[in-house]
Amino acid sequence: MAKNILLLFLSPLKPNEAHYEKIGGEAIKMTNESAVLYLLKKNISLDKVFIIASKRVRSPIAADNPQTHLDFFLERLGTFAPNVETSTYEFDEDKTGDENIKSVTEMARLIQDFAKGEEVALHVDLTGGMRHVNLIMLELTRLLEYSSLTVGSVLYSNYDFETKIVNVEELKNIYDIFQLMAGVEEFVNFGSVNALEKYYQGKERSESLKNLLAAMKNFAGAIKLCHYGQFSEAIINLHDAVRDFKPAADDVEDMLMARLIERIRKDYHGLIVNRDLDDLAVIRWCLEKDYLQQALTLYTERIPEYLGEKRLITQRTDEYRKLEIAMGDDVRSPNFYLLNVYKSEDKDFQPLVKLVSSSVSRMEKPYFTLIKNIPDALKNGLDYDEWHRQLDTLAEKICTNIKLVSNAPIDKEHIVCANERRLRRQYELLQRINANEFETLSEAELEPLKDFFDTLKPKLEGAPPSKKRKIILNELRQLKVDDAKKYFPPLVCRRNAPICRLKMMLDAQIFDLHFDEETFFNVMEKYFRIKNERNHSNHAREDDSEFETATELHDFILAALKEIEQLR
User: DSSP states of 515-559 as a string?
Assistant: S-HHHHHHHHHHHHHHHHHHHHHHTT--SPPS-SSHHHHHHHHHH
Cβ neighbours for 371, distance < 8 A, ≥ 6 positions apart = 476, 479, 484, 488
Are residues 281 and 543 in contact, defined by beta-carbon separation less than 8 angstroms?
Answer: no
Would the pLDDT of 537 be above 70?
no
Are residues 313 and 513 in contact, defined by beta-carbon separation less than 8 angstroms?
Answer: yes
**Three-state secondary structure of 400-421:** HHHHCCCCCCCCHHHEEECCHH
Residues 136-175 have pLDDT tens digits of: 788 788 888 877 788 888 898 887 777 777 788 888 888 7
- What pLDDT sits at residue 430? 94
Read off the DSSP letter of residue 22. Answer: G
Are residues 336 and 304 in contact, defined by beta-carbon separation less than 8 angstroms?
Answer: yes
Residues 8-21 have pLDDT tens digits of: 988 888 766 566 55
**Three-state secondary structure of 457-501:** HHHHCCCCHHHHHHHHHHHHHCCCHHHHHHHCCCEEECCCHHHHH
Can you identify the CATH homologous superfamily of domain 3-174?
Answer: SSO1389-like (3.40.50.10640)
Are residues 489 and 423 in contact, defined by beta-carbon separation less than 8 angstroms?
Answer: yes
pLDDT band at 539; cut points 50, 70, 90: very low
SS3 call for 510: coil
Vertex 285: Cα angle to 494 and 280 (nearest 5): 55
Q: pLDDT higher for 506 or 159?
A: 506
Would the pLDDT of 346 be above 60?
no
pLDDT band at 309; cut points 50, 70, 90: very high
pLDDT band at 310; cut points 50, 70, 90: very high
What phi, psi does 276 have (nearest 5°)? -85, 145
Residues 101-126 have pLDDT tens digits of: 777 788 888 888 888 878 899 999 98
CA 480 from chain centre, in angstroms, equals 42
- What pLDDT sits at residue 307? 95
Q: Is 9 left (phi over 0), alpha (psi -120 to 50) or beta?
A: beta
Structural Rg of the chain based on CA atoms: 35
Minimum mean pLDDT range among 149-153, 226-230, 318-322, 542-546: 542-546
Q: How many CB atoms lie within 10 A of CB 377?
A: 21
Instruction: Give the bridge partners for 167, in sequence order.
Output: 158
Average pLDDT of the residues in 342-369: 67
Would the pLDDT of 497 be above 80?
no
- What pLDDT sits at residue 178? 79
pLDDT band at 220; cut points 50, 70, 90: confident
SS3 call for 222: helix
Read off the DSSP letter of residue 93. Answer: T
Residues 390-430 have pLDDT tens digits of: 877 777 777 776 665 555 666 677 677 878 888 999 999 99
- What pLDDT sits at residue 500? 74
CA distance 539 to 376: 39
- What pLDDT sits at residue 347? 56
CA distance 318 to 322: 6
Instruction: Give the bridge partners for 51, in sequence order.
Output: 8, 88
Are residues 129 and 9 in contact, defined by beta-carbon separation less than 8 angstroms?
Answer: yes
pLDDT band at 97; cut points 50, 70, 90: low
Are residues 298 and 228 in contact, defined by beta-carbon separation less than 8 angstroms?
Answer: yes
- What pLDDT sits at residue 359? 62
What phi, psi does 186 have (nearest 5°)? -65, -40
- What pLDDT sits at residue 306? 93
SS3 call for 89: strand
- What pLDDT sits at residue 562? 94
- What pLDDT sits at residue 360? 63
Would the pLDDT of 52 be above 50?
yes
Q: pLDDT higher for 523 or 127?
A: 523
Would the pLDDT of 354 be above 80?
no
- Name the residue among 189, 193, 46 with its Cα closest to residue 121: 46
**Three-state secondary structure of 418-453:** CCHHHHHHHHHHHHHHHCCCHHHCCHHHHHHHHHHH
Q: Where are the alpha helices (DSSP H) in 61-159?
A: 69-80, 97-115, 133-146
CB-based burial, 332-353: b 16+ in 10 Å, e otherwise: ebbbbbbbbbbbeeeeebeebb
Q: What percent of the chain has pLDDT over 70?
A: 87
- What is the residue extent of each domain of the chain? 3-174, 178-277, 292-342+510-565, 364-493
Instruction: Give the bridge partners for 169, in sequence order.
Output: 156
Are residues 327 and 334 in contact, defined by beta-carbon separation less than 8 angstroms?
Answer: yes
Are residues 252 and 174 in contact, defined by beta-carbon separation less than 8 angstroms?
Answer: no
Angle between helices 390-403 and 350-362 (to 10 degrees): 150
SS3 call for 120: strand
CA 123 from chain centre, in angstroms, equals 32
- Name the residue among 204, 189, 317 with its Cα closest to residue 252: 204
pLDDT band at 89; cut points 50, 70, 90: confident
Q: What's the chain's average pLDDT?
A: 83
Would the pLDDT of 362 be above 60?
yes
CA distance 24 to 37: 11
Instruction: Give the bridge partners for 65, in sequence order.
Output: 62
Q: pLDDT higher for 344 or 32?
A: 32
Residues 452-486 have pLDDT tens digits of: 999 999 998 888 888 999 999 999 999 888 888 88
